[in-house]
Amino acid sequence: MSQEQVTVETDESGPLDTFRQFFALERDVLVLSLAMFAFSLGFQMTSRYLPEYMVALGASGFVVGLFGTIGNVISAVFPYPGGAISDRIGSRYALTLFGLISTLGFVVWLVAPNLGVITAAGATIPPWIWIFVGLLLAQGWKSFGLGATFAVVKQATDPSRLAAGFASTETFRRTAFLIGPVLAAVLIGFHPDFTVSFQYVLGVAVVFGVVGTIAQHLLYDASEDSLGDSFEGIAQIKRDLRDMPDPLRPLLVGDTLVRFANGMVYVFFVLVITQFYQVSFETTVSLASFSYAIDLSPEAFFGYLLGVEMLIALISMAPAAKLAERVGLKPVVALGFAVYALFPIVLIGGPEVLDPVMPLQWAMVLIFAFSGLRFAGLPSHKALIVGPAEAGAGGRVTGTYYLLRNTVVIPSAALGGYLWEFVNPEIAFTIAAVIGVVGTGYFLLFGEEFEVYV
């Protein structure tokens, strides 16, 4: 990839530019972008609150950790069979199938409290077990559909506009990351009982899933779908692992340690707000003679904190990608790694440090704004992964990289859950930060720069 090509891609990667170019993209990419927005909105409205929902249904901290680990398994395992299904039946029918499966998962989460405790064959099934069942289904479009979404963009977009096509889908997805938790926070404020109010959120998620599934099936033009050969199996995976470019290995080691650290504590972020600190948000907004009192529960406040986090992410990604053209990819990626690594200790201990200078609620706003900076290195990270790949091998290299990383990260949430439940949250978050710092340091010492940026 030439320096000129890099510049063109980063210039088109900003959120405002992407929305400006939206209606200039191919129809199938538009349809995919809208479907991705709908499903991402539904998933982001719900997924970050599920640990709190599980606790309300009687789950322990260790069970919440196991829930995170099952999510890691799904992220590692589902994309391969999902890609194989898409190759065999075509992207249109694959995405419709995955959309239906995902929507069914939202329905299972919605009805879980109403199922109550079930006794069958002498065994007692608590209501939180249905959250695990729903997870296997709800991640269908997100994880199964990963290969299909890439295929749609590739086959529907002129090669010279491929970066714009991917920028459109990614920006729509990230915008849903911003809107989803904030919308959830508004809905949660409608009822004082979290279990009931979160069912409002899940009901809206079901609607988004239905609309996204129907829209993509009716509007997507399947005439350009190409049906591929069947997946070659374990031999293909082994061959891809063996052929991974050497420059990726230090990046993979550092990234895996950082993601393992994040995986230990990620599902507990909501519990830090709602249970560990129990921080709500109260203030009065005054304009001229008009005053409005804002009083948010900890659960609702968490949604707005996620909105702050993603707003900073959307603002910072494009400038960071542009900065990488001047300083190289490695420093920008390392910055993102460092924020990932430090955030656990900043979240669990930062409010006490900031207590003399600002109230707890505003300290949390600042801390989650800091968390948003971890996404600044995302475009450079992706470029560093696919950059060293040979022409025509970028997809396989990327798939192999994420398969390895996500497989190693699988047990992280269970470990974090054990420490949270049986030791204490501070130890869990501190150990996570130490592992993340080690991963960041390893990448700084041994990571290689993509030669185009040298």
Which percentage of the chain shows pLDDT scores above 70? 73
**pLDDT value of position 182:** 92
pTM: 0.82
**pLDDT value of position 418:** 96
Check if the beta carbon of residue 443 is closer than 8 Å to that of residue 254: yes
Q: How far apart are CA 280 and CA 169, in angstroms?
A: 34
**pLDDT value of position 238:** 72
Q: Where are the domains of the chain?
A: 1-222, 240-454
Q: Which of 23, 29, 31, 27 is nearest to 212 (CA)?
A: 31
DSSP 8-state symbol, 14: S
427 has pLDDT over 90:
yes
**pLDDT value of position 160:** 42
Collapsed DSSP state (helix, strand, coil) of residue 119: strand
According to DSSP, the β-strands at 281-287 and 290-296 are: antiparallel
Q: Give the tens place of pLDDT for each residue, 293-308.
A: 788 999 999 999 999 9
- pLDDT, mean of residues 348-363: 94
Give the model's confidence band at 214: pLDDT under 50 very low, under 70 low, under 90 confident, else very high: confident
DSSP 8-state symbol, 274: I
Cα-trace Rg, the chain:
22
- pLDDT, mean of residues 17-28: 50
- pLDDT, mean of residues 90-102: 80
Which CATH architecture does the domain made up of 1-222 adopt? Answer: Up-down Bundle (1.20)
398 has pLDDT over 50:
yes
Looking at 8-22, 319-333, 383-397, 426-440, which range is the least confident one? 8-22
Check if the beta carbon of residue 89 is closer than 8 Å to that of residue 98: no
- pLDDT, mean of residues 306-324: 86
Q: Give the tens place of pLDDT for each residue, 52-91.
A: 999 999 999 999 999 999 998 888 777 666 666 666 676 6
Check if the beta carbon of residue 337 is closer than 8 Å to that of residue 377: yes
Collapsed DSSP state (helix, strand, coil) of residue 443: helix
395 has pLDDT over 90:
no
Write the burial class of residue 313 (CB in 10 Å: 0-12 exposed, 13-18 middle, 19+ buried). buried
Which percentage of the chain shows pLDDT scores above 90? 45
Q: Is 77 left (phi over 0), alpha (psi -120 to 50) or beta?
A: alpha
Cα 127 off chain centre by: 26
Asked whether the domain spanning 240-454 has the same topology as the one spanning 1-222, the reply is: yes
Task: Supply the CATH classification number for the domain 240-454.
Answer: 1.20.1250.20
Which of the listed ranges 76-90, 178-192, 217-231 does the model predict with the highest average pLDDT?
A: 178-192
**pLDDT value of position 275:** 94
**pLDDT value of position 57:** 93
Give the model's confidence band at 9: pLDDT under 50 very low, under 70 low, under 90 confident, else very high: very low
Cα 333 off chain centre by: 17
**pLDDT value of position 315:** 86
Beta strands of 127-200 (E only): which ranges?
none
**pLDDT value of position 270:** 96
Give the model's confidence band at 167: pLDDT under 50 very low, under 70 low, under 90 confident, else very high: very low
DSSP 8-state symbol, 277: S
**pLDDT value of position 145:** 46
Give the model's confidence band at 4: pLDDT under 50 very low, under 70 low, under 90 confident, else very high: very low
**pLDDT value of position 152:** 52
Q: Give the tens place of pLDDT for each residue, 138-166.
A: 887 666 445 445 455 555 555 444 334 44
Mean of per-residue pLDDT scores for the chain: 80
**pLDDT value of position 288:** 66
Q: Is 448 left (phi over 0), alpha (psi -120 to 50) or beta?
A: beta
Q: How far apart are CA 308 and CA 363, in angstroms?
A: 13
